Amino acid sequence: MEQVTDQTLAAARKVIAVHINYPSRAAQRGRTPEQPSYFLKPTSSLALGGSTVERPAGCELLGYEGEIALIIGKPARRVAVKDAWSHVEWVTASNDLGVYDLRWADKGSNLRSKGGDGFTPVGPGLIAADAVDPAGLRIRTWHNGELVQDDTTGDLLFPFARLVADLSQLLTLEAGDIILTGTPAGASVAKPGDVVEVEVSAGESTTGRLVTLVAEGTTPFGDFGAQPRTDDLQREEAYGSRAAAGLSAAEHVPSAEAPATEAPATEAPAAAAVVPVLTPELKAKLESVCTATLSSQLRKRGLNNVSIDGLSSTRPERRIVGLARTLRYVPNREDLFKTHGGGFNAQKKAIDSVNEGEILVMEARGEKGTGTIGDILALRAQVRGAAAIITDGGVRDFSAVAAMDMPTYYANPHPAVLGRRHIPWDTDITIACGGTTVQPGDIIVADADGILVIPPALAAELADDSIAQEREEAFITEMVQQGHSVDGLYPLNAEWRARYVNWEAGKANE
Q: What is the CATH number of the domain that holds 80?
A: 3.90.850.10
201: Cα within 13 Å, side-chain hemisphere: 12
Surface-to-core class of residue 413, CB atoms within 10 Å of its CB (0-12 exposed, 13-18 middle, 19+ buried): middle
**Which pLDDT score, from 0 to 100, does residue 243 have?**
77
Kindly give the confidence (pLDDT) of every residue in the chain, 510 residues in length, as a single tens digit, with 9 standing for 90 and above.
Answer: 799 999 999 999 999 999 999 998 888 777 788 899 999 999 999 999 999 999 999 999 999 999 999 999 999 999 999 999 999 999 999 999 999 999 988 867 899 999 999 999 999 999 999 999 999 999 999 999 999 999 999 999 999 999 999 999 999 999 999 999 999 999 999 999 999 999 999 999 999 999 999 999 989 888 888 889 888 888 888 998 877 888 765 443 333 333 333 433 333 333 333 344 688 889 999 999 999 999 999 999 999 999 999 999 999 999 999 999 999 999 999 999 988 888 889 999 899 889 889 999 999 999 999 999 999 999 999 999 999 999 999 999 999 999 999 999 999 999 999 889 999 999 989 999 999 999 998 999 999 999 999 999 899 999 999 999 999 999 999 999 999 999 988 888 989 889 998 888 887 776
Task: Supply angle C-alpha 183, 187, 189, rounded to 5.
Answer: 140
Q: What is the CATH number of the domain that holds 420?
A: 3.50.30.40
Cβ atoms within 10 Å of 102's Cβ, excluding its own = 26
Within a domain: 266: no
- 454 and 468, same domain (yes or no): no
- 379 and 230, same domain (yes or no): no
- Domain count of the fold of the chain: 3
Helix (H) / strand (E) element for 26: namely helix 23-29
- 499 and 429, same domain (yes or no): no
- 350 and 327, same domain (yes or no): yes
Surface-to-core class of residue 498, CB atoms within 10 Å of its CB (0-12 exposed, 13-18 middle, 19+ buried): exposed
User: With contact defined as beta carbons under 8 Å apart, do 208 and 124 qualify?
Assistant: yes
Within a domain: 110: yes
Kindly report each contact of residues 495-503 with a partner whose C-beta sits within 8 Å and lies 24 or more positions away, as own/partner: 500/472, 500/475, 503/475, 503/478
> In sequence order, what DSSP letters do the residues of 147-215 get, joined into one string?
EEEEEESTT-SS-HHHHHHHHHTTSPBPTT-EEE----TT-EEE-TT-EEEEEEEETTEE---EEEEEE
- 396 and 419, same domain (yes or no): yes
**Which pLDDT score, from 0 to 100, does residue 246 have?**
80
Report the 3 state secondary structure along 408-476.
EEECEECCCCHHHCEEEEEECCCEEECCEEECCCCEEEEECCEEEEECHHHHHHHHHHHHHHHHHHHHH
- 180 and 198, same domain (yes or no): yes
In the three-class reduction of DSSP (H, G, I as helix; E, B as strand; rest coil), residue 135 is classed as coil
Chosen domain end from 424, 439, 459: 459
Within a domain: 164: yes
- 412 and 485, same domain (yes or no): no
Helix, strand, coil % over all residues of the chain, rounded to 5: 30, 25, 45
- 71 and 140, same domain (yes or no): yes
Within a domain: 264: no
CA 161, CA 182: separation in Å to the nearest integer?
Answer: 14
Within a domain: 250: no
Range of the domain at 44: 6-239
Within a domain: 455: yes
Nearest 5°: phi and psi at 373?
A: -150, 145
| Model confidence, pTM | 0.54
Nearest 5°: phi and psi at 257?
A: -95, 0
Within a domain: 176: yes
Q: How big is the chain by its Cα radius of gyration, in Å? A: 28
Within a domain: 263: no
- 230 and 347, same domain (yes or no): no
- 453 and 504, same domain (yes or no): no
**Which pLDDT score, from 0 to 100, does residue 249 have?**
54
Chosen domain end from 196, 224, 239: 239
Furthest CA-CA distance within the chain: 98
Chosen domain end from 239, 263, 298: 239
Number of residues that make up the chain: 510
- 224 and 294, same domain (yes or no): no
- 162 and 290, same domain (yes or no): no
Cβ atoms within 10 Å of 7's Cβ, excluding its own = 8
